[in-house]
Amino acid sequence: MQAMNRERPDDLPDAEMEDEEESLPLPAPAADLTEATPGALKHGIEVIAGFARHLPGKPGVYRMFDRAGEVLYVGKAKNLKNRVTAYARGMAHTNAVARMIAETANMEFVTTGTEAEALLLESNLIKQLRPRYNVLLRDDKSFPYILLSGDHEAPQIAKHRGSRQRKGDYFGPFASVWAVTRTIDALQKAFLLRSCTDSFYENRTRPCLLFQIKRCSGPCTGEISIPDYQGLASQARDFLSGRSSTVKQTLSARMQEAAEELEFEKAARYRDRLAALSAVQAGQDINTQDVEEADVFAIDEQAGQFCVEIFFFRNHQNWGNRALFPRADKSLTPAEVLASVVSQFYDDKPPPRLVLLSHPLEEIELIAQALSTRAGRKVEVAAPKRGEKYDLVAHAQKNAREALSRKLADNAGQQSLLAALGAAFGMERPPRRVEVYDNSHIMGTNAVGGMIVAGKDGFMKSHYRTFNISTDTIAGDDFGMMREVLQRRFARLAKESGGAGPAAEEGDVGGSSPSPATNSSAVLEPEGDAVFPSRPDLVIVDGGKGQFEAARKIMAELGAADIPLVAIAKGADRNAMRETFFMVGREPFKLPPRDPALYFIQRLRDEAHRFAIGTHRAKRKRDTMKNPLDEIPGIGPSRKRALLLHFGTVKAIQRAKLDDLMRTPGVNAATAKAVHEFFHDA
């Protein structure tokens, strides 16, 4: 077949073929393709060749699928036909690429107008589908921002994380919630902006405590006029947008004027506001002189692992740094990993005007073009060699090296603890995935179950799950609650892995669940060099013999009897170090008081307890604050606000007659009738 011919096809120019060879995923020194299964490799090449014959020579994105429909790889190409033809010729530079070709059973393509558009689409698909052979940002959770709302006459300043659906100005990203909280605290002192919710604002009749301690100007009760308050909000917007010197000069001039007019209290207020602004700018480990707005990326590699350190600079201020540990093949160079990280990082966040890199990238101009398209303005991407920008990159690279060294050391310690845990429970090898379960409730109300997961990288919080216990379970029946949680967990696992077993019930919340398009990834999920299993090697439940028997029976029913199960009963007087353990085939036993495995088990149990009780408290708080009006069909936020403004309280609404309800501004007759019938069972 032509697809198996190792010679260059006649219709492919030399220069284009060389470009395509350099652009294949996971490039490295050439590897012998005979290490892949010959039959599978031949079949994969035939599949790819069949698609290559009909592809256009246009930019676009391609996806490679295995027989189970799981996405193996997402790539972009300047010329789809040339790129896929290179695969069809069996040109793999590494064993990983050879395996990917051998596993390919199907492909899908999307053409784009430009290569930059293809790069943007590729980044989006990688983050959505998390293909096995791509570089993945495993811990790229959403970053916090400061929101200055634009949908209210008195703008609110607040922390924000997630999609930007609310109208207003977003400033960030910040590296941590702590950095956002500290900055908002200083901005409240400087600009006296409200942080309360709109509903709280609308129902105030006198100023709150924040007004008394000079953290808010009190627009809710008219302590400041709305135009004057909007002026304060405008100053805050200017300060966060980079015009800090103008704001500080204005405040300084007003302080001087107040002092000259002998209004010393007013001058002191301006002085305090200036001090708060100085605190925002001075309370940083590193600041810039010439770089106003930039993100700095630096990468380090050790023992086949990568760490990318990111520093955020806005308004000449350091807004913190974050270390990311992408999953990438060892054959990739740091520059190739960095290019993929930068492209994916800005998939859900706006890029700054300047992006500084520790390594020069082959496609640096293409990345700059793609980021400019996303931002709607020019974005510069550079790898500086001297000056202040180089110093910033060098500082970030030092942090990347130190962060990766710490992680490698922590992983070594975690692996030794997992080995000790496996030895303590008589396992043949250390567990790779440990699941710990605990329930939390008060007299059977607001009952939730929590599952935490631990592996060689420590607590795997993206795998945590919470389960809302159904009302069918008898209140206070801890054994029944444990049965329900484990039944839902292992039924879902059986369904995702394609095994037999009851379908999973709804009601699981928290964490992230596999996408329907990548169902098979639920069995083996990327984690460093290997894969992180979704099926546990060890299950631990918090409780005594009763919980143990309940868990054992339900796991046996769902085909998970081969998974080691351990129950932990608290010691006498609930003291630590005296726990009793229950396992199949062993009499109840204790571990030596100073056994490292015992300390590790206590950490796991305490984390499960913290997670379960935290979820329970959040659910209880939501139920406590629930408004009866929320249960009435057709009553949204606007009509609820109209009713509360007219009657004052829910009790007054409940006592109101139908005629009174119909006279409420903003409430029509049908809504008034629905409210009346709800409270009077008419």
DSSP assignment of 496-513: HTT-SSPPPPS-EESS--
Mean of pLDDT values over 408-426: 85
Residue 484's H or E segment, with its range, is helix 478-496
Q: Taking the chain, what is the end-to-end CA distance rounded to the nearest angstrom?
A: 79
Average pLDDT estimate for 460-478: 75
Tell which CATH classification among 3.30.420.340, 3.40.50.1100, 3.40.1390.20, 3.20.20.100 matches the domain 426-622: 3.30.420.340
Least confident segment among 157-166, 453-462, 525-534: 525-534
Mean pLDDT of 648-655: 78
pLDDT at 138 over 70: no
Same fold, 294-406 and 426-622: yes
Q: Using pLDDT thresholds of 50, 70 and 90, give the confidence band for residue 239.
A: confident
- Which residue, chain included where needed, has tokens 């299950």? 539
pLDDT value for 592: 84
CATH number for the domain formed by residue range(s) 628-680: 1.10.150.20
Q: Are 379 and 352 in contact (CB under 8 A)?
A: yes
What's the pLDDT band for 475 if we cut at 50, 70, 90?
A: low
Q: Which of 16-20, 152-156, 336-340, 450-454 has the lowest mean pLDDT?
A: 16-20
Q: Are strands 145-149 and 106-111 parallel, antiparallel or unpaired?
A: unpaired
Cβ atoms of 447 and 440 within 8 Å: the answer is yes
Q: What is the mean pLDDT of the chain?
A: 78
Q: What's the CA gap between 46 and 5, in Å, rounded?
A: 11
Per-residue pLDDT reduced to its tens digit, 361-399:
888 999 999 999 888 889 999 999 988 889 899 999 999
- pLDDT at position 493, please? 82
Q: Compute the average pLDDT of residues 273-296.
A: 67
Per-residue model confidence as pLDDT tens digits over 262-271: 877 777 777 7
Is residue 196 left, alpha or beta, with left meaning phi > 0 and alpha meaning psi from -120 to 50?
beta
Least confident of 104-113, 253-262, 400-409, 544-553: 253-262
**CA gap 164, 170 in Å, rounded:** 8
* 645 Cβ neighbours under 8 A, 6+ residues apart: 202
- What one-character DSSP code corresponds to residue 610? H
Q: Give the pLDDT mean for 95-124.
A: 88
CB 457 within 8 A of CB 527: yes
CA distance 321 to 294: 12
Record the pTM.
0.63
**Rounded average pLDDT over 425-445:** 84
Query: Which percentage of the chain shows pLDDT scores above 70?
Result: 81
Helix axes 177-191, 264-282, angle to 10 degrees: 160
Superfamily of domain 2-129 in the CATH hierarchy = GIY-YIG endonuclease (3.40.1440.10)
pLDDT at 436: 92
Answer yes or no: is pLDDT of 356 > 90. Answer: yes
What angle separates helix 80-88 from helix 38-52, to the nearest 10 degrees?
A: 160
pLDDT at 35: 52
Q: Examine the pLDDT at 357 and tell me if it is beyond 90.
A: yes
pLDDT band, residue 571 (cuts 50/70/90): low
pLDDT band at 187 (very low <50, low <70, confident <90, very high): confident
Report in angstroms the alpha-carbon separations of 175 from 179, 180, 312, 403.
7, 8, 7, 15
Amino acid at position 499, single letter? G
What is 294-406's CATH topology? Nucleotidyltransferase; domain 5 (3.30.420)
The mean pLDDT of 518-525, rounded to a whole number, is 36
Residue 283 pLDDT: 47
What is the mean pLDDT of the segment spanning 591-613? 85
Euclidean distance between CA atoms 452 and 462, whole angstroms: 9
196 touches 156 (CB < 8 A):
yes
DSSP state string for 205-256: SS--HHHHTTS---GGGTSS-HHHHHHHHHHHHHHHTT-HHHHHHHHHHHHH
Ordered by start, the domain boundaries in the chain are 2-129, 145-282, 294-406, 426-622, 628-680
Q: Which pLDDT does position 277 carry in this prediction?
A: 67
**pLDDT score, position 160:** 87
Comparing 310-314, 315-319, 483-487, 557-561, which segment has the lowest mean pLDDT?
A: 315-319
Q: In the predicted model, what is the mean pLDDT of residues 267-292?
A: 66
Average pLDDT over residues 532-549: 86
Which pLDDT band holds residue 289 (cuts at 50, 70, 90)?
Answer: low
